[in-house]
């Protein structure tokens, strides 16, 4: 969480993600999914994760696959939290 432009990590996935991204504000599926569990928890906890993880929110607007993953995560977390 809380990473900026100077994100560490120079592995092949990071580079591939950067290569594939179309929107400069969209971190892409790979990066999005790293934060998706946090995003799901924030959705349940505070209901407004877009202000905390704007990149993920931007990506979710254009990616049905990640939206499905988020829905599944929220359901899973919701069922396991008491
Ligand atoms: Zn995606």
Tens of pLDDT, residue by residue over 39-63, are 999 999 988 788 999 999 999 999 9
- What is the predicted pLDDT for the residue at 12? 63
Q: Measuring CA to CA, how many Å separate 57 from each of 24, 30, 60, 80?
A: 13, 14, 5, 24
Distance 16 CA to ligand 1 centre (A): 14
- What is the predicted pLDDT for the residue at 78? 81
More confident residue, 9 or 72: 72
pTM of the model: 0.65
DSSP letter for 13, please.
H
* Nearest to 53, CA basis, from 25, 81, 78, 21: 25
- What is the predicted pLDDT for the residue at 43? 93
Distance 29 CA to ligand 1 centre (A): 4
């Amino acid at each position: 969480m809380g990473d900026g432009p100077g994100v560490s990590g120079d592995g092949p996935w990071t580079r591939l993600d950067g290569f594939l991204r179309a929107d400069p504000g969209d971190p892409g599926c790979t990066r999005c999914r790293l934060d998706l569990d946090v995003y799901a928890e924030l959705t349940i906890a505070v209901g407004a994760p877009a202000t905390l993880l704007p990149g993920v929110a931007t990506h979710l607007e254009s990616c049905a696959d990640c939206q499905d993953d988020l829905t599944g995560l929220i359901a899973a977390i919701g069922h396991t939290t008491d």
